[in-house]
Amino acid sequence: MALLPKNISFSRQVLPVIALLGLVFAVFFIWNGLPDRELSEPDQEPPRATGELAYENRVAGAGVVEPSSEVIQLGTALSGLVTDLRVQPGDFVEKGEPLFTVDTRAIRSQLAQANSAIGEARAAIAEAQAAQSTASRQLALYRNVDDPAAVSRAEVIRAEGDVSAANGRLQLARARLQAAQATAQTARTEIGRATVRAPIAGQILAVNIRPGEFLSTMGGGGAPFIEMGETRPLHVRIDIDEEQASRVDLGASAIISPRGAANSQVKASFIRAEPLVVPKRSLTNSASERVDVRVLQVIYQLPEGDSRFRVGQQVDAFIPAAKTADSE
Amino acid sequence: MIWIAIRMLTGDRQKFYGLLFGIAFSTLLITQQLTIFVNLIERGASGVYNVSSADVWVMDPVSRTTDVAYAMPSTALDKVRGVKGVEWAVPHLRANASVRTKDGDLEGVAVIGVDDATLIGLPKSMVEGSTDVLSQPDAVIIDDVGTTRMFPGESPIGERLELNDQRAVVRGIADAIPSFTSTVVLYTKYSQALRYVPGTRNRLSFVLVGAADGVEAKSLSDSIEEQTGLKAQTRDEFARDGVQFIIENTGIPLNFGITVLLGFIVGVAIVGLTFSLFIRDNIKQFGALKAIGVTNGKIARMVAAQAAMVGLIGYGLGVLGTVGFIYGFSNNPTFKGFYIPWQIPLISFAAMVLIIALTGWIALRGVMKTEPAAVFR
């Protein structure tokens, strides 16, 4: 203790001060060291029910945006190479507008063949008509001769036979013409079938074919050739767990928000509930998906002209619960 | 008079330091062991406390802790969202997976899938990088303790891992309290986690729920349980479940209980023996004081002052030792997140008061009986 001045005692004065300072430091350290277990608000807005629904009974569901016509997956009536593609994704088309054409060369040659057969048949008709008129005039000539001795009976019979033969040839030629016309008509119909037209007015959503690709009527390629649908307005198909299905107030409008943009909510009006309860489609990308949950699908109509919603997008929905279901 | 008592106490250096050592040591033992005990079993709740924004955790009725959980069908999320008083609900996936590192080693990891859009479920702060990195393809965030285990001495940022035949790239380090087993934790988006964890039919481990303003978490968890048939626990309840699980399934409480008891016994033995020896040695002085007319009450106060001084200094040094220990090891990953709960110094203080009062009282009985004549014997 030689380090300390004489009148200060280490054990009586320094040590208590050290102990007290140590205690103060310990209190300070412990106070600062307490773990931060405060609840915090999430940085990004999660989907939440707002307005009246926030404190009301409600049913929540997730769903997918779809065209009001649902997605139409266009196929082709004829197989063949794509020779002409008229539309791009995003195009709006009218009903009956041609979308794409498959190779028609073979059908066109059939048409040309049929056309030449028509010409041939027409020529045969003209020839048969000429022969018939010749034979008729001959027969008329024989018939007009009053003297039976002037024309032999055999001559008359031959002339009659010529007339009926000429009639027969004419009929045959006419039938050939009809057959050739029918063949041509068939070829024209086939040419029409080679061009796929829009079944409804709507928007092209996806084009999975390119000119030169071979399309098979058997499908098999996996992706549909062209997907389209009426996107004015859009619908959403909301999946609701079958256990919750009885609570839904069918007919009330729902609050819908797109995934990832939970603060941009819209009110969507009720369209219908699907009569068939289907297995839930999980979007887990797993090949061997097995489900035991079934869902009621309810369709709502989104307000028109909202660019935040796109076909195929996932949405979160809040629907009011039926008053009676929760009053017990 | 008190001053005389203090001089009397510090006069005998050896006994004084012996007393200080005994009290400081048993304080240190009790405080430090209790601290480590509490922190160790609270590791069972770290999974809950790492998620800072969820008021209520919803799970399958058989799930017990964050790590012992049975998955639910994905529509459970919508069931919970439909409950009155739920402000928001997001999916949360916790599963174990095996990861193949760049060197080909296999390591067990916990994969935590947080909500894709809001990232609710991530720890509050990051050591490196921001939470936005999860929007990059195949991105995962590793926890800081996992970094030291999986990538000792190097930066894990940009490292490629293989999870369930899928590529994962470490893009950030989260500041999280490790779990009881210190498993490496990889945080990723929910949709991504579904690919990283080998497929079973149901994947949703938990639904994290935020209560609407003015709704109590407890009443909300009750109404969720009633309406959905799932199990709902408030944050504190679920944290307690995690702690309870460790208490039930490990020998930690018994081991640490024994150590704390030993600390108490050592304290009583050293302090009691030294203090009563000290009083006994000074019995002549007390006798002299009595002879000059000092009352028993005054003597009791003197002994109390001596005890208080020794106790306070010893306790202060012991607590300082504990603080120094926790501070010194705060950078060690094993002790990451360790803290001294404020109750523990109070408990050890009560134990010290008990030890000193007990020994002081026993020693004082001799003094009280002393006749003033003792000074002449």
CATH number, domain at A77?
2.40.50.100
Which residue from A minimizes the CA distance to B235?
A39
Asked whether the beta carbons of residue A282 and residue B74 sit closer than 8 angstroms, the reply is: yes
**Are residues A88 and A214 located together in one domain of the fold?**
yes
| B185 domain residue, yes or no | yes
pLDDT at A5: 65
Residue of B nearest to A295 (CA): B75
Q: Which long-range contacts (CB under 8 A, 24 or more apart) does A184-189 make?
A: A184/A111, A184/A114, A184/A115, A184/A117, A184/A118, A186/A110, A186/A114, A187/A107, A187/A108, A187/A110, A187/A111, A187/A114, A188/A111
Domain match, A133 and A96 both: no
Q: What is the mean pLDDT of residues B304-312?
A: 86
The pLDDT mean for chain B works out to 85
Task: Give the tens place of pLDDT for each residue, A118-141.
Answer: 999 999 999 999 999 999 998 888
Please answer yes or no on whether A62 and B78 come within 8 Å at the CB atom: yes
Residues from chain A that touch B340, judged by Cβ atoms under 8 A, are 26, 29-30, 33
The stretch A258-268 carries a mean pLDDT of: 82
Residues of B in contact with A37 (CB under 8 A): 49
Residue B139 lies in a domain: yes
Q: Which two tokens stand for residue B257?
A: 């209980």
Instruction: Give the closest residue to B1 by CA, choosing from B376, B305, B278.
Output: B305
Which of B78, B126, B166 is the mutation pick for testing A, counting most A CBs within 10 A?
B78
pLDDT at B288: 81
Provide the pLDDT for residue A3.
60
The pLDDT of residue B27 is above 50 = yes
Mean per-residue pLDDT for B254-258? 86
A163 and A125 inside one domain: yes
Q: Same domain, yes or no, for A111 and A153?
A: yes
Same domain as B272, residue B186: no
pLDDT at A328 over 60: no
Token readout for A232 is 């004015």
B131 pLDDT more than 60: yes
Task: Look at residue B81 and tell me whether its pLDDT is greater than 80.
Answer: yes
In this structure, the answer to whether residues B89 and B224 fall within a common structural domain is yes
Highest mean pLDDT among A6-15, A34-43, B66-75: B66-75
Going by DSSP bridges, is the β-strand pair B106-114/A266-273 parallel, antiparallel, or unpaired?
unpaired
Question: What's the domain range around B84?
Answer: 73-229
Mean local confidence (pLDDT), B342-359: 86
- Mark whether A96 and A222 lie in a shared domain: yes
Cα separation, B226 vs B80, in Å, equals 11
**B168 lies in a domain?**
yes
**pLDDT per residue as tens digits for the range A203-259:** 999 998 889 988 888 766 677 889 999 988 899 999 888 888 888 888 888 888 888
B194 and A284 within 8 Å at the Cβ level: the answer is yes
- Asked if the Cβ–Cβ distance from A26 to B345 is below 8 Å, we say yes
- Phi and psi at residue B374, to the nearest 5°: -55, -30
Residues A213 and A87 in one domain: yes
Nearest CA in chain B to A242: B75
**Is A34 in contact with B116 (Cβ distance < 8 A)?**
no
Least confident of A13-17, A87-91, A186-190, A225-229: A13-17
Answer yes or no: do A250 and A302 share one domain. yes
Pair B211, B269 in one domain? no
pLDDT at B25 over 70: yes
Q: Do A62 and B320 touch (CB under 8 A)?
A: no
Instruction: Identify which of A25, A41, A58 has the shortest CB distance to residue B53.
Output: A41
Do A119 and A181 lie in one domain? The reply is: yes
Q: Is A302 or B375 the better-scoring residue by pLDDT? A: A302
Q: Are residues A252 and A314 in the same domain?
A: yes
pLDDT > 70 fraction of chain B, expressed in percent and rounded: 98
Instruction: Decide if pLDDT at B200 tops 90.
Output: no
Q: State percent of chain A over pLDDT 90.
A: 33
Domain presence at residue A24: no
Could you tell me if residue A250 is inside a domain?
A: yes
Confidence bin at A284 (pLDDT 50/70/90):
very low
Judge: B199–A286 Cβ closer than 8 Å, yes or no.
Answer: yes
Neighbour-count burial of A172, counting CB atoms closer than 10 A to its CB (0-12 exposed, 13-18 middle, 19+ buried): middle
Number of domains observed in the structure of chain A = 3
Rounding to the nearest 10 degrees, give the CA dihedral for residues B212, B216, B220, B222: 180
Strands A254-258, A314-320: pairing is antiparallel
Chain A residues touching B79 at Cβ < 8 A: 60, 241, 243-244
- Does A41 reside within a domain? no
- Residue A77 lies in domain: 72-102+196-226
* A34 CA: distance to closest CA in chain B (Å): 6
Residue A151 above 70 pLDDT?
Answer: yes
Co-location of B112 and B223 in the same domain: yes
Q: What is the mean pLDDT of residues B131-142?
A: 88
* Domain endpoint, select from A145, A180, A195: A195
**Cβ contact A60–B309 (<8 Å):** no
pLDDT at B232: 93
pLDDT for B107? 85
Beta strands, E only, A212-282: 214-215, 226-229, 234-241, 254-258, 266-273, 278-279
Report the residue of B10, B46, B74 to disrupt the A interface, i.e. the one with the largest count of A CBs within 10 Å.
B74
Asked whether the predicted pLDDT for residue A327 surpasses 50, the reply is: no
Mean pLDDT, residues B267-294 taken together:
79
Give domain status of residue A86, yes or no: yes
Alpha-carbon span B232 to B54, nearest angstrom: 12
| Chain A with chain B: Cβ pairs closer than 8 A | 168
pLDDT reading at A47 higher than 90: no
- CA separation for the pair B121, B184 (Å, rounded): 16
**Partner residue opposite B49 with nearest CB, options A37, A60, A247:** A37
d(CA A313, nearest CA chain B) in Å: 13
Do A16 and B84 count as a contact with CB atoms less than 8 A apart?
Answer: no
Nearest CA in chain A to B90: A46
pLDDT in the model for residue A291: 56
Identify the DSSP state of B136: S
End-to-end CA distance of chain B: 24
- Taking a C-beta distance cutoff of 8 angstroms, is the pair B164, B197 a contact? yes
Average pLDDT of chain A is: 84
- With contact defined as beta carbons under 8 Å apart, do B282 and B4 qualify? no
Q: Extract the tokens encoding A194.
A: 């080679």
What pLDDT, on a 0 to 100 scale, did the predictor assign at position B374? 64
Q: Give the chain B residue nearest A35 (alpha carbons).
A: B339
- Residue B65 is assigned to a structural domain of this protein: no
End-to-end CA distance of chain A: 83
A42 contacts B88? CB cut-off 8 A: yes
Closest CA–CA distance from residue A233 to any residue of chain B (Å): 26
What total number of domains does chain B contain?
2
β-bridge partners, A64: A237, A314
* Nearest CB neighbour to A33, from listed B20, B199, B340: B340
What pLDDT, on the 0 to 100 scale, is given for residue A282? 58
Task: Give the nearest chain B residue to A245 (CA atoms).
Answer: B79
pLDDT-derived band at B19, boundaries 50, 70, 90 = confident
Percent composition of chain B: helix, strand, coil (DSSP 3-state, to 5): 55, 20, 25
Same structural domain, B286 and B221: no
Percent of chain A as helix, strand, coil, to the nearest 5:
35, 25, 40
Separation CA A10–CA A313 (nearest Å)? 77
- Does the pLDDT value for residue B30 go beyond 70? yes
Interface test with B, best of A55, A283, A296 (most B CBs within 10 A): A55
CB contact under 8 A, A48 and B87: yes
Same domain, A312 and A238: yes
Nearest CB to A60 within list B7, B82, B119: B82
